[in-house]
A and B are shown apart, each in its own frame.
Chain A
Amino acid sequence: EVQLVESGGGLVQSGGSLRLSCAASGFNFSSYWLSWVRQAPGKGLEWVANIHQDGSEKYYVDSVEGRFTISRDNAKNSLYLQMNSLRAEDTAVYYCGTVGWGGYVGLWGQGSLVTVSS
């Protein structure tokens, strides 16, 4: 089955760290750019970060630059998001996704909730 499954979310205190993982199956993982997109409770979508097929290029939205790190392990078909110096405004459901057609998410995970308490 073609799918992405996130894990690693939870409750963390402000200033703390958390690492999200995204496990892929059923498709050629190493062929895709990958992304993290988040959605604060009751709010819209925000694109957080992108990573090239081989990890050589990474892009971040300004609000997480310097605090979050996107990475991947193609041998393990896995995507990661290391989140440091977390703030209350980082509270959201975090979705991993495959990026196709130059910049759209075609396959989404089910999401992982990160709650940052102040």
Chain B
Amino acid sequence: EIVLTQSPATLSLSPGDRATLSCRASQSVSNYLAWYQQKPGQAPRLLIYDSSNRATGIPARFSGSGSGTDFTLTIGSLEPEDFAVYYCQQRSNWPITFGQGTRLEIK
């Protein structure tokens, strides 16, 4: 099973700041990695797929990069609605697995 480790566990920033979230895989997943955003009481929402492709309707301030074992989600300038929990997910091998999440909170 591929283990995804996200860091940091919690990130405290202010609106307008730039956010950088990391996801490291226990073995290569090529570029088969996605990022989701989840707000309290809601289902997750797909932001980025295959490492760097924005899903439909996702603002341009969200960007993804990386390949192999190291991946990054960058939020260019934080809006109030961006404070949430973010998960990475790989589809390279079954079972499909998620990281444990990074909580992005308002400083």
Listed in ascending order, the chain A residues whose CB lies under 8 Å from chain B are: 44-47, 50, 59, 61-62, 95, 100-106, 108-111
A108→B44 contact, CB < 8 A: yes
**A72 CA to B97 CA, complexed, in Å:** 23
Query: Which residues on B sit within 8 Å (CB–CB) of A108?
Result: 43-45
Interface residue B55 (Cβ < 8 Å from any Cβ of A): yes
A105→B32 contact, CB < 8 A: no
Interface residue B99 (Cβ < 8 Å from any Cβ of A): yes
Instruction: Give the number of chain B interface residues (Cβ < 8 Å).
Output: 21
**A105 CA to B38 CA, complexed, in Å:** 13
Which secondary structure dominates where chain A touches chain B?
strand
Query: Which residues on A sit within 8 Å (CB–CB) of B3?
Result: none
| Nearest CB in chain B to that of A111: its residue | B43
A47→B95 contact, CB < 8 A: yes
A44→B95 contact, CB < 8 A: no
Mark out the residues of chain B between 87 and 107 whose CB falls within 8 Å of any chain A CB in the assembled complex. Answer: 87, 89, 91, 94-101
Interface residue B21 (Cβ < 8 Å from any Cβ of A): no
Partner of A106, one of B55, B97, B100: B55
B44→A102 contact, CB < 8 A: no
A101→B87 contact, CB < 8 A: no
**A106 CA to B57 CA, complexed, in Å:** 12
